[in-house]
Amino acid sequence: MREALNQAMREEMERDASVFIMGEEVGHYNGAYKVTQGLLQRFSERRVVDAPIAEMGFAGIGVGAAMVGLRPIIEFMTFNFSLVAIDQIINNAAKIFQMSGGQYHIPIVFRGPSGPAVQVGSQHSQALESFYAHVPGLKVVMPSTAYDAKGLLKTAIRDDNPVVFMEGETLYGMTWDVPEDEYTIPLGVGDVKREGQHVTLVAWSRMVHVCLEAAKVLAREEIECEVVDPRTLRPLDHAIINESVKKTGRCVIVEVGWPVAGFGAEVAYRVQRDCLDYLDAPIERVCSDDVPMPYAKNLEDEVQPQVKDVVAAVRRALYLD
């Protein structure tokens, strides 16, 4: 995935001279996760800008640059650090188009790793997508594969609105086939990652892969799960989720975020609103435990949704337990 993201930025920077990157260690260090590797050498310090540890400052510089016609890509070393810049993201980037009466577009991408990694502690393990999906004026993208990551990032860079692009921290080293030809993926269009007929699993980012593994386990019991990946949370592809739920009659929503006010609750509300007459069982949610992330590896694993948790939720939805 890191190479697909790198290709997307390289191609867009070659296509459009107004695109530039700014963030901590994006240049000489090639990015904390090596996503920006080689871009400084290709495009110079004028377009790959190493910023100090001052997220509020360089996020604000990005918003100002977008106001005057540039297309910044602002990388946070982790989206946990975006909390330092949240005033710029929510009160400026998301609001200026409306507050200026449409005089200023803000074509900016805030991107970086999101969600838990491995033993990085409670302050660096948070899934914050529900924070940003809550805000009108922002678009929120969470790819689960390298193919999706490249196509969605290229679209996000070309978008005239602010996009929060959250990359699963543990997905960077996973590999998929990515075509060499030019392609983009529109925002707001989901994807069925696995066809099935008995239950719909809705998940995004890393949880898609947990669901796919759970689907393999359940297939041994002749339970066929359909795995739906919305790919973008805002705008959300209601239609692809509804179509699947109407086919299967059951829905399990899986997210690595906390349960209270998590984005899965919004998905559940919309499913029951639109598909109530088709549901044969209550909607199930699988989330992380409602606690700060522990550091100990065994506790860290226990807190997050695992394959066994998804399997158990599916069995409940099918009234097998």
CB 53 within 8 A of CB 26: no
Q: What is the helix (H) or strand (E) element at residue 263, kind and residue range?
A: helix 263-275
Is 209 an annotated catalytic residue?
no
Catalytic residue among 55, 75, 169, 284: 55
Look up residue 139 and give its DSSP letter: E
Look up residue 292 and give its DSSP letter: P
Per-domain residue ranges of the chain: 2-168, 191-317
pLDDT digits (tens, 9 = 90+) for 62-72: 999 999 999 99
- Mean pLDDT for the chain overall: 97
Does the pLDDT of residue 321 top 80, yes or no?
no
* Ordered DSSP codes for 226-250: EEEE-SEEETT-HHHHHHHHHHHS-
Q: Percentage of the chain with pLDDT > 70? A: 100
Is 45 an annotated catalytic residue?
no
Catalytic residue among 124, 134, 213, 266: 124
Q: What is the helix (H) or strand (E) element at residue 200, kind and residue range?
A: strand 199-203
The reply to whether domains 2-168 and 191-317 share a CATH topology is yes
Does 3.40.50.920 match the CATH number of domain 191-317? yes
Beta-strand relationship, 225-229 and 191-194: antiparallel
Task: Tell me the CATH class for 2-168.
Answer: alpha beta
pLDDT digits (tens, 9 = 90+) for 101-119: 999 999 999 999 999 999 9
What is the residue whose two structure tokens read 């860079």?
157
Per-residue pLDDT band at 180 (split at 50, 70, 90): confident
- Calpha distance 70→27 (Å, rounded): 19
Does the pLDDT of residue 126 top 90, yes or no?
yes
Look up residue 129 and give its DSSP letter: H
- Calpha distance 229→166 (Å, rounded): 14
Cα 250-252-258 angle, rounded to 5 deg: 155
pLDDT digits (tens, 9 = 90+) for 138-167: 999 999 999 999 999 999 999 999 999 999
Residue type, 272: Q
